[in-house]
Amino acid sequence: MDVIDESKNKVVSGREERRAQTLPIQSPEERDRLVRAFHPDYKKEEYHTIRTGPNAGERTVREVAELLESDSPVPVDLDLTPQYRVDVLVVGGGGAGATAALTARAQGANVLLVTKLRMGDSNTVMAQGGMQVAITEDDSPVTHFYDTLRGGHHKNDPKLLKVLVDEGPMAAQWLIGLGVLFDRDESGNLKTKKGGGSTKPRLLTCSDYTGLEIMRVLKDEVLNQRIPILEFSPVVELLTDPDGRCSGAVLKNLDNGQFIVVEAKSVILATGGSGRLHIEGFPTSNHFGATGDALALAYRAGGKLAHADTFQYHPTGAVFPEQLAGALVTEGLRSDGGHLVNRNGKRFVNELDTRDVVAAAIIRECAEGRGVKTPAGRVGVWLDVPMIDLLLGEGSLTKRFPAMVRQFERYGIDIRKEPVLIYPTLHYQNGGVSIDADGQSQVRGLFVAGEASGGLHGRNRLMGNSLLDLIVFGKRAGAAAAARAKSGPAGKLTLSHVTRFRKELDKNGIKPKRVAPILLPDYVRREEIAHTS
Ligand code: MEZ
């Protein structure tokens, strides 16, 4: 019998005993010790100091530092005669972009939505396990606030967090009104379940494709409202007026390589996260376009970043089969009772502790030799999924996790019968472009919503808060951008911030290693880095 089968047998034979076992949530001191020792966010000795721009002097990972010190793909003598003139330019075709576009449109703004890939290609559709909203009788926005603050190591911007929890119920109401089919019980009441780090069940779910269902409805509504969309047209540079206010953007038509100039009274960046930068060499659960575009664009125009050094490694990314490496294995499975089990058949962490703690515990198990090696050389621990049918009754997995069952079934693995191997996967940028409660960055006229923005989640986001974030702050950014558009014409279109930034790079002796936004992951370059380091 090989090592994998031997270990898998230990998982199966230990099931009955584990069933009655409860592992404690760690004390603050224990959590702190664990994350400092094993979470990738704390490998500070490998971090780079940012040498220029609003965050100069702070430290972050190499991949982000290179983005912030990158060169623009746009020549400064580009003809800036606009092909489009709009009130609000929304950049990004995921949940935050769609919500912002719908809200701005509802305020009477003339909106153009542009996106790098197709409408809906985004991390929103990858959020499987739910959206947190305090709606049950024994829950409240205050409890949601404190859970999130504790999860974020008390580094969350309290103003943003208050907005999130207070406006959560309204956001859910809005989605239901548009047609999102959240799960309901036999009496028709909304079902809720508990996510990691939360003291109350407050996740609204659409089985295990919550984000996909939300995006389905938002996309439909954008089409119903006839909001013009340009697909395969990412923003490659912002435009600013002589006072530094954002006045539009330069897009690139990915089909023919031509630049497109858009004049806008306000711009909303909703370009999502940066998992495809593969920070620290991690695989990712993110969609193909998640290359941190907003970070480079906003930074060059003068926007400060918040918590640019912290990333979420979702505890359960698939490590086997190889084709699924990095793919999300939803936290919902742990929420419903799935156990994390090491090579020796033992549990080692409370599965519903915060994600940074659970991820650090898995990394520790593997680093200390209690992981299981896959044939391709990856290492992971078991997620004992069949435990869920044992706890909740036969058929529960099929009913509650159809997407997960199908994802593994395609590769001949029946998760109703066998545990799966998992390891943390790069899932979310905890920080991003700093915003105020209206979603405005430090660059006037430039708004940022969803994962691209920073400050709300502190140093570790709680499960389900991203779907809520993109609705609440998508709406806020859309409304504020539309209001700003009513206050006067767009400014002059210039690339003066690019000239200024290039001078700063030069003055600081920085030769950019990259041209950014990167737009698509450069896997060839990554291979080269791996071979030379
Ligand atoms: O918020 C998330 O990241 C989420 C819902 C992920 C998941 O595990 O399903």
CB under 8 Å to 109, separation ≥6 — which residues? 87, 88, 481, 482, 485, 486
Please give the distance, rounded to the nearest whole angstrom, from the Cα atom of residue 500 to the centre of ligand 1: 40
Token pair belonging to 29: 């001191």
Distance of CA 439 to the CA centre of its chain: 17
Using the mean position of ligand 1's atoms as its centre, give its distance from the Cα of residue 467 in Å: 9
pLDDT digits (tens, 9 = 90+) for 390-449: 999 999 999 999 999 999 999 999 999 999 999 999 999 999 999 999 999 999 999 999
The pLDDT of residue 533 is 44
Query: Angle 201-35-43 (CA atoms, 0-180°, nearest 5)?
Result: 135
Query: Which is the closest atom of ligand 1 to the Cα of 428?
Result: 3
Dump pLDDT digits (tens) for 200-244: 999 999 999 999 999 999 999 999 999 999 999 999 999 999 999
- 424 CB under 6 A from ligand 1? no
For the CA of 330, the closest atom of ligand 1 is 8
Q: What is the pLDDT of residue 527?
A: 59
Give the ligand 1 atom nearest the CA of 463: 1
Q: Does the annotation count 334 as an active-site position?
A: yes
Q: Name the 3-class secondary structure at 217.
A: helix
Q: Which of 317, 268, 293 is nearest to 426 (CA)?
A: 317
Residue type (1 letter), 431:
G
Please report which residue ranges of 152-287 form alpha helices under DSSP H. 158-178, 210-224
Find the 43 Cα to ligand 1 centroid distance in Å.
Answer: 25
Identify the segments of the chain with pLDDT beneath 50. Answer: 533
Q: Does residue 315's CB lie within 6 angstroms of at least one atom of ligand 1?
A: no
3-state SS class at 71: strand
For residue 416, report the phi and psi dihedrals to the nearest 5 degrees: -75, -20
Question: Is the separation of the CB atoms in 450 and 469 below 8 Å?
Answer: yes
DSSP string computed for 258-327: -EEEEEEEEEEE-----GGG-GGG--B-S-TT-S-HHHHHHHHTT--EESTT-EEEEEEEE-SSGGGTT-
pLDDT for position 525: 63
pLDDT (0 to 100) of residue 528: 56
497 labelled catalytic: no
Ligand 1 atom closest to the Cα of residue 465 is 1
How far is CA 532 from its chain centroid? 30
DSSP letter assigned to residue 440: B
Distance CA(314)–CA(39), nearest Å, equals 11
Q: Is the CB of 332 under 6 A from ligand 1?
A: yes
C-alpha 123 – ligand 1 centre gap (Å): 10
Rounded CA separation 263/64 (Å):
29
Per the DSSP assignment, residues forming a β-bridge with 339 are: 384
* Cβ-based burial of 224 (10 A; exposed 0-12, middle 13-18, buried ≥19): exposed
Residue from 153, 202, 287, 334 carrying the catalytic annotation: 334
**CB 330 less than 6 A from any atom of ligand 1:** yes
pTM of the model: 0.96
